Amino acid sequence: MAHLLIVEDDELLRDGLAAQLGQAGHQVATAANGALGQTLLETSRFDGVVLDLGLPVMDGMHLLRWIRQRQLALPVLILTARDGVEDRVEGLNAGADDYLTKPFSMAELEARLGAMLRRSRLPAFGGSLEMPTGRLRLDATQPLAWLDDEPLELTQREWSLLSLLVANAGQVVGREDVLAVWQSDPNDSTNTGSNALEVYVHRLRRKLADSGLNIRNVRGLGYMLETTTP
């Protein structure tokens, strides 16, 4: 769980984001303009910020610069318009950690936020991830995992794929969500080819062969981690 601040003037989007991230287990505060966001940042401690750039009273870029002058390490994900290439570049130059172009899917937002929080070494998923069966355990910040307390040999990419599947166990994780996490991972410099995902899923399946866990291919949608033990 992380303490997140959403600064967004579009009421529908703001409420939708707050509800979704709240359901994902995060503690969420919201602000409808840059000045209110600034006040909240002055009075509370946050683990991450979702920041719209087009805001009334104080715009998002101004607030981003203000954040960077005071809190160098606070992860910030900016939201920009589809045609806002210059905004995106300016935002990243001003110290944003990642960006999403509107409209975006909630699944992608959650995947990118999770990756951003993991990178900042904050307990996005409470420090470790565990399957309901308790046999598989993953460190939430480093590429480490254990099956029945025996270390599993995983590459960075296998670990981030498995983290995403465990965090969403029993739900479908979209192919594009996995690829988005890989692409935003600074520890992962390998190119993401179109067949790469199948290859990594195949490898993970073999490593999980006797674990009572299966990675199911949900045709046209993505992958789902499920327990196979009776």
**Contact region for Ca ion (CB under 5 A) — 20-28, 53-61, 138-146, 186-194?**
53-61
Q: What's the residue count for the chain?
A: 230
What is the C-alpha to C-alpha distance for residues 179 and 197, in angstroms, rounded to an integer? 8
Strands 136-139 and 145-147 come out as antiparallel
Nearer to Ca ion, 9 or 185 (CB): 9
> Cα(first)–Cα(last) distance of the chain, in Å?
31
At closest approach, how far in Å is the CB of 103 from Ca ion?
13
3-state secondary structure of 45: coil
At closest approach, how far in Å is the CB of 102 from Ca ion?
9
Contact assessment for residue 165 and residue 175, using Cβ atoms and an 8 Å cutoff: no
By the rule CB under 5 A, 9 interacts with Ca ion: yes
By the rule CB under 5 A, 59 interacts with Ca ion: no
| Site residues (CB under 5 A) for Ca ion, limited to 66-105 | none
At closest approach, how far in Å is the CB of 15 from Ca ion?
14
The upper half-sphere exposure of residue 57, i.e. CA atoms within 13 Å in the direction of its Cβ, equals: 14
At closest approach, how far in Å is the CB of 183 from Ca ion?
25
Nearer to Ca ion, 54 or 212 (CB): 54
At closest approach, how far in Å is the CB of 223 from Ca ion?
34
Helix (H) or strand (E) holding 39: helix 34-43
Q: How many CB atoms lie within 10 A of CB 103?
A: 9
Nearer to Ca ion, 87 or 158 (CB): 87
Nearer to Ca ion, 13 or 147 (CB): 13
By the rule CB under 5 A, 16 interacts with Ca ion: no
Torsion of CA 117, 121, 123, 129, to 10 degrees: 90
Strands 48-52 and 76-80 come out as parallel
User: Binding Ca ion by CB under 5 A: which of 3, 20, 35, 54?
Assistant: 54
**Residue with the closest Cβ to Ca ion?**
54
**Contact region for Ca ion (CB under 5 A) — 9-17, 119-127, 129-137, 185-193?**
9-17
Strands 3-7 and 27-31 come out as parallel
User: For binding to Ca ion (CB under 5 A), which residues are involved?
Assistant: 9, 52, 54
